[in-house]
Amino acid sequence: MKKIIFIFSLFLIGFTIQSQEVKKKKNAKVSFEVDGICGMCKKRIETAALKTKGVKFALWDVSSHQLNLIMDERKTDVLTVQKNILKVGHDIILDKKNKLSATELAYNSVHPCCKYRDEEIILDHSGELKKQKKKN
């Protein structure tokens, strides 16, 4: 009887330990905000994400700045994808107060129309600056 209880206990312990392991998904859906301003930014951000091993799908929305990914968590993680996006010059917005900023060198490598940190460029893309120029 003691042997049966001992074997049953080992079985339960093994099952408990196995169930505590974090299962990494093959097709994990992840989304986060990436700063950018135009279609050229979109291409740069999506390409940087897709060049990360394990990323299967990347779609960045210009208006919401939301990057949606489908990735294999067994091959990569979110931080690796974010680092690759930072390398091409785009900031990662974590929340309203915190963000991961691209280096000045990386930011300066983006096309002049993609300078999303410049208020005048932002206004130019939203059409406000164009309206002001027509009035003058």
Domain positions in the chain are 28-135
In the predicted structure, residue 102 carries a pLDDT above the cut 90: yes
Confidence (pTM): 0.75
Closest of 45, 57, 49, 52 to residue 75, by C-alpha:
52
Model confidence over 54-78: pLDDT tens digits? 999 999 999 899 999 999 999 999 9
Q: What is the mean pLDDT of residues 84-101?
A: 93
Q: How confident is the model at residue 131 (pLDDT cuts 50, 70, 90)?
A: very low
Question: Rounded to whole angstroms, how far apart are CA atoms 126 and 89?
Answer: 21
* pLDDT score recorded for residue 13: 67
Distances, alpha carbon 21 to alpha carbons 14, 15, 18, 73, in Å: 11, 10, 6, 14
**Selecting from 3.40.1160.10, 1.10.10.10, 3.90.79.10, 3.30.70.100, what CATH number does the domain 28-135 have?**
3.30.70.100
Q: How confident is the model at residue 79 (pLDDT cuts 50, 70, 90)?
A: very high
